[in-house]
Amino acid sequence: VLLVISANDGAYALAEASGGSVAGFQTQLTSLGSRLGMHDSTFNDPAGLDDRTSYQGGPKMSPFDIAIATRAALNTPLLAAFANSPNYSFTDPTGKRHIVKNHNQLLTGLRNAYSGADGFKTGHTTRAGGTLTATATRNGRTLIAVVMGTPDTFGWAAKLFDDGWRTT
């Protein structure tokens, strides 16, 4: 669900379950980031929060490092499928059914649909403003666009994709 919509409480719960604590998760994520080749990131708050309430001041990630993380996630079919879903339905422990809608409007059938768009994640933080990491695939070629600090994340991602398709 975290790839479809933000669920900060869920991010903290997963971090604690995975790393034994938020600090343990931070250590795990730092190690993974290093193995993936990420050099411009600090992983503090598991929910990505970067305001005065965030864990240790929140994360700091460059667009380049976000693209590296997205590339790695694309290699996990289940993650890629979640990121490409216009909505996700699940049943909670009480038996109640929920449907959450993906905020990535570039996906097929949504408001700002972009031909070939197949993921990835929207967001908003105090420091970065509106953010979007988007992926699109055409003719076997996948592009990743990372956009931060603009109210028109979908427009800028579409422009980056258009520019990218023109290169060989």
Q: Which residues of the chain have pLDDT under 70?
A: 1-6, 168
Residue 71: predicted pLDDT: 95
Q: What is the mean pLDDT of the chain?
A: 88
84 token code pair: 């490409």
Residue 3: predicted pLDDT: 60
Residue 5: predicted pLDDT: 63
Q: Is 20 left (phi over 0), alpha (psi -120 to 50) or beta?
A: left
38 token code pair: 């990420």
Long-range contact pairs involving 121-124 (C-beta distance under 8 Å, separation at least 24): 121/3, 121/70, 121/83, 122/153, 123/6, 123/48
